[in-house]
Structure 1
Amino acid sequence: MYKIANINFIAAIAVIGGALFGFDISSMSAVISTQAYLCQFNQLGVNEQNKCMGPKADVQGGITAAMPGGSWLGALISGLLTDRFGRKTSIQIGACIWVVGSIIQAASVDIAMLIVGRVINGFSVGICSAQVPVYISELAPPSMRGRLVGFQQWAITWGILIMFFICYGCSYIKGTAAFRLPWGLQVVPALLLFLGLLFLPESPRWLAKKDRWEESKAVLTLVHGKGDPNSPFVAHEMEEIREMVEFERANADVSYMELIKPNMINRTTIGVFTQIWSQLTGMNVMMYYITYVFTMAGLGSDVLLPSSIQFIINVVMTVPALLWMDRWGRRPTLLIGAFFMCLWLCVNAGIFGAYSVPPYPGEFTSESESMSITGPPAKAVIASTYLFVASYAPTWGPVSWTYPPELFPLRLRGKAVALCTSANWAFNFALAYFVPPAFANITWRVYVLFAVFCFAMFWHVYFFFPETACKPLEEIEDIFDYSKPGSIKYLGTPAWKTHNTRATTLKKERGELSAEEKVGFEEHKAEHKEETGAL
């Protein structure tokens, strides 16, 4: 069968798996304030204006959290699937599961059925969100890896935007079709993903791990060698992959337990916290419940269209990261994002704390809409919310997907990224469930809580997160080299002393290294091989 060779097209098809997550975020965010949804799943009766009040705050939290709850389990299981069946096949399995979940969700007649459909959808998203970055990172050349894996986040933002406008258009439909139609249309990207993957090659590193060396070289020749099996870069990659596979078979297990062993716990902690912090920024909460925030800011029944501006900002502001993230490096991008998100969260907390008042009876339809703010302070809240999104989109959004696959050796990459992604979904679940009752009970202090998290993540990144941009996956092992002959164990290279190696990597990919640079590279490689062989 014909296989696509262009790495940009390969990434574009694979990241449709990320778009599934975006579709889910938007399909819930856009419908939770509509009367069709509130009446179908009503628990609180009607208000003075004879409008349905919808589910209780904690029940709505449970409905929203059902998807990330399923994603947590899907992400964990994906590590087993990908090691056995391959990266590509695992993503196809996720696409099939998504179709089933979307059909159940679209047909939901009560809250229980809706939750079941969202759990199944979540299981699919867990598989795809964990293995799409692994698949792309193992196919991408080092100098483009950040950009290509970052497409995952861009696909999420496009999924959010497209589904939001579908939901906005369907909101004018009378009856339950207003939410059933967009939930049913979610099967379309899953079908495109499944069919598109038929024309993509498998990960060359997974093929090598399974002793399918000829196929592995064929994929590298197709994608990196432009059809030339004698390409120097292909030969260099094959040599590095072969050495890493042989070393790993001679020195290590492939169980989840290895992730918490002394020589691996540091990078496991970093990878897990990358995903945890990405949730504790509060961004996905903003996406799920933005209609609550804008309703409290006085936008009333016109809340859907202003909310769409946030999603447009999310799409547009992800582009700079795709263009320049490999040049910027991972560390500066994460640090700048944490700083500015903390700033805008503090601004929102201050404005709501100083100017909001309790809503009058019947003003809002949800008990989570617990504050009312008008005039210039309300406009400032809206502007600050937009700026928060603009700070997240080019920083923690794409880097949180790019960074974890870069940290781990081949033998553990599938399981390790599955574990890291499961942490993402565990906290996504907790926060999705937590926020509606939190807005109802602690009001503006919700923003203070997330601001504290952003402050903490800034310093965690500064002291513990090393730079991995543009380094070949096999060379990143150097950063986490825990022992040398004749020495006691120590904590690798300090994070703040690591730096981007883009210039050298580009020369290597183009075959432009000078004789002196080649000698230095080979000496460093031999030294590293000798040291790691002594472990």
Structure 2
Amino acid sequence: MTAQAGAQSVGHDLAELLPRDGKAWWKKPHLLSLNMMLFSAMMFSSAGGYDNSMMNGLQALEQWQVFMGHPVGAWLGFINAAQALGVIFGYPAMAYCADRWGRKRSVYYGVALLAVATGLQTGASSEAMFIVARFLVGTASAFFGAIPVLITETAFPTHRGKMTAGYNTLYYVGSLVSAWATFGTRNYTTSWAWRIPSVLQMLIPTISLPGFFLCPESPRWLINQGRTNEAREFFFKYHAGGDYQSPLVPFEMAEIEEALEAEKANHQSGSYADMIKTKGNRHRLFVSVALGIFAQWNGVGVVSYYLAAVLTTVGITSVTQQTLINGFLQLWNLFIAVSAASLVDRVGRRPLLILSSFGMLICYVIITGLSGSFASTQHAATGLAVIPMLFIYYGFYDIAFTPLLISYPAEIWQYQLRSRGIAVTFTSTMLALFFNLFVNPIALNAIAWKYYIVYVAILVLICFTAWFCFPETRGRSLEEIAVLFDGEDANIAPPGAVREAIELKMADKEAMHVENVKEA
């Protein structure tokens, strides 16, 4: 790790204290262990992706259509929206649980709920039972929202940006497994055509659970709970590799303690009301809400949950073709999203957001034109041309709105409001999604391709917002990002305070050592 590369990720002060031994992180046992445990935690994001892709695939299966009574319009929208409704109810509970009892316990509650939901959905004997199961799936996914907070507060400084951004990209691992599971069962003649994909909803969380069990609790949460020694031991073990002389640990400890004390001194209690008390928090709130809404109101909700309907409008009606396209689309999404997450520190958050917004706008204009042309001419080649444009559109979506939807809010909120900030973003996303899931099938049935024009207009607004309102967070430690929003009022240690705290602690340590020698 060079000083320049470290400064690019976390700023110069912290970068100066990072080890420069020339070893890759995977050759250091402490970082390899930490990252593997955090990767296990990241895999829980697959639950939401699995559900998304599964519902796309089930709509193409005649067995599911018969079981659910061939739902269309608002009824189909409600079936899909039940999951979003569960997320909306679950996120406030997650934020409270994560702050009160720890980030890890919130996830355990989510696993238990997901197991119940999977059992209900797989064994569903009625439409109502299936819908209740989907509601519980959404609630379980909400409790997994504590994981990006845990990653942000636990990862090694130079890994924080990429790992937090990587969390939401693994959403597509679930999408990929679900899409191909549905493709594999498409020719079953019984209800197991949709029950097998339903039971596999627990597959990835079950595999990930042992690794997550070993994962450490957030050191920032530990410090806020007064468990300072445990937090210090975490930093020595996983950030310093057992080197008790490392200056990195006292720096991190002092920076966090100073920030927490400053937040408390400014009467930040961690309530939702604090989000509107200061100009900086109001800016954070706007960014969090806007990012959450724009993540769904950019047209992705149409192709995510109603891909079968979109493909039907351009003449692709075969179940095999629809499920096959869905499978390859999820593989493409995973590749692009993971690639983009690896670039957040090199390229920056703001350029990715701007490129994503303008790229989606151009693609949606072309998709709208092609769909309209096919509706008029019924020319097969025109309809087929929509398919590669859907892939390109999703590529632009994935370079920012997949990796940054979670990681960006997790960075910009300070400790006391971080869990609630994530909750606000995802609640905004689910409210937008809940609206879309009702409106999209009705609009697609009523005006077909003309509905895409609405999203073209919204994408223009998204481009302006990304350009003027989203600041760059690259090159700062987690505590230093506050300066971008609060300026001189930022709740961080003033220049030199952290180093002074380190020097005092090192001096105290040396004095204790001398005293022990004298006594001996």
| Preserved CA contact (<8 Å) 1:272 1:423 | yes
Matched with 2:101 is 85
**Matched residues in 2 for 1:385 and 1:458: separation?**
19
What's the Cα RMSD here? 2.1
Paired residue type of 2:445: A
Amino acid at match of 2:288: G
Residue 84 to residue 118, structure 1, CA distance change in 2 (3 Å): same
- Match of 1:477? 482
Displacement of 1:194 in angstroms is 3.4
Amino acid at match of 1:428: L
Match of 1:119 among 130, 135, 139: 135
Percent identity between the two aligned chains: 28
Kindly state the Cα deviation for residue 445 of structure 1 after the two structures are TM-superposed: 2.4
The alignment of Structure 1 onto Structure 2 pairs a total of residues equal to 465
Partner of 2:278: 262
Aligned counterparts of 1:13 and 1:69: Cα–Cα separation in 2: 27
Does 1:310 find its partner at 2:329?
yes
Gaps of 5+ in 1: 43-53, 358-371, 485-491, 493-519, 527-535
Cα 1:443–1:320 change in 2 (3 A) is: same
**Which of 348, 372, 385 is 2:367 aligned to?**
348
| 1:25-80 CA-partner distances (Å, limit 9, x unpaired) | 111111111110111111xxxxxxxxxxx113211111011101101111121110
Structure 1 residues 437-463: Cα deviation after superposition (integer angstroms, max 9, x where no partner): 110112212211122222111111111
Does the alignment pair 1:15 with 2:31?
Answer: no
1:334 corresponds in structure 2 to: 353
Out of 58, 70, 79, the residue aligned to residue 74 of structure 2 is: 58
Specify the alignment match of 2:402 in structure 1.
397
Deviates more, 1:194-203 or 1:205-214: 194-203
Question: Aligned pair in 2 of structure 1 residues 333, 134: CA closer, same or farther (>3 Å)?
Answer: same
- Tell me if structure 2 keeps the 8 A contact 1:92–1:193: no
Q: Secondary structure in 2 aligned to 1:292?
A: helix
Does the 8 A contact of 1:96 with 1:190 survive in 2? no
User: Aligned to 1:222, which of 223, 233, 237?
Assistant: 237
Shift of 1:525: 8.6
TM-score (norm 1): 0.83
Corresponding letter in the other structure for 1:446: Y
How far, CA to CA, are the matches of 2:324 and 2:379 in structure 1? Answer: 18
- Identify the range of structure 1 (327-336 vs 419-428) with the bigger mean alpha-carbon deviation: 419-428
Q: 1:141 to 1:469 in 2, by over 3 A?
A: farther
Give the CA deviation at 1:320. 2.0
Q: 1:487-526 to 2 correspondence within 5 Å?
A: 522=496
Residue 412 (1) aligns with residue 417 (2): yes
- Measured after TM superposition, the shift of residue 374 of structure 1 is 3.8
Name 1:421's counterpart in structure 2: 426
Match of 2:192 among 158, 177, 189: 177
How far apart, in 2, do the equivalents of 1:451 and 1:309 lie? 25
**Separation (CA, whole Å) in 1 of partners of 2:183 and 2:397:** 24
The question of whether the paired residues in 2 share the 8 Å contact of 1:96 and 1:194 is answered with no
AA aligned to 2:325 is: P
Question: Does structure 2 retain, via aligned residues, the 8 Å contact 1:161–1:311?
Answer: yes
1:392-433 per-position Cα deviation (integer Å, ceiling 9, x unaligned)? 112221111110011111111112211222111111221122
CA contact (8 A) 2:345 2:474 kept: yes
> TM (normalized to structure 2)?
0.85
Instruction: Call closer, same or farther: CA 1:206–1:285 in 2, change over 3 Å.
Output: farther
Counterparts in 2 of 1:100 and 1:4: CA distance versus 1, 3 Å:
farther
Q: Deviations over 1:168-212 (max 9, x none)?
A: 111122110100111012122232343332100000101111010
Gaps (5+ residues) in structure 2?
A: 1-29, 501-520
Q: Give the match for residue 24 of structure 1.
A: 51
Residue in 1 that maps onto 2:123: 107
Asked if the contact 1:334–1:395 (Cα under 8 Å) also holds between the matched residues in 2, the reply is yes
Structure 1 partner of 2:65: 38
